[in-house]
Amino acid sequence: MKERLTRLKAVRKAIKTYRIESQETLLGHLEKEGFLVTQATLSRDLKLLKVGKISDGHSGYVYSLPEDDERQETERSYIQDFLRGYISIDWSGNLVVIKTYSGHSDSVALAVDNLSLDDVMGTIAGRDNTVFVALREGVTGEEFFAHMKANIPEIES
Q: Residue 13: which CATH number?
A: 1.10.10.10
The whole-number pLDDT of residue 100 equals 95
At 38-95, the pLDDT tens digits run 888 898 888 888 888 888 777 788 888 877 545 555 677 888 999 999 999 999 999 9
| Structural domain harbouring 19 | 4-64
Single pTM value for the model: 0.57
Q: Identify the band that residue 130 occupies on the pLDDT scale cut at 50, 70 and 90.
A: very high
Rounded Cα gap, residues 118 and 112, in angstroms: 11
Backbone torsions φ then ψ of 35, nearest 5 degrees: -100, 125
Same domain, 88 and 146: yes
We report the CATH number of the domain holding residue 79 as 3.30.1360.40
Same domain, 16 and 82: no
Average pLDDT estimate for 93-120? 90
Q: Both 97 and 31 in a single domain? A: no
CB 96 within 8 A of CB 141: yes
Backbone angles phi, psi at 129, to 5 degrees: -140, 25
pLDDT value of position 92:
94
Confidence of residue 2 (pLDDT cuts 50, 70, 90): very low
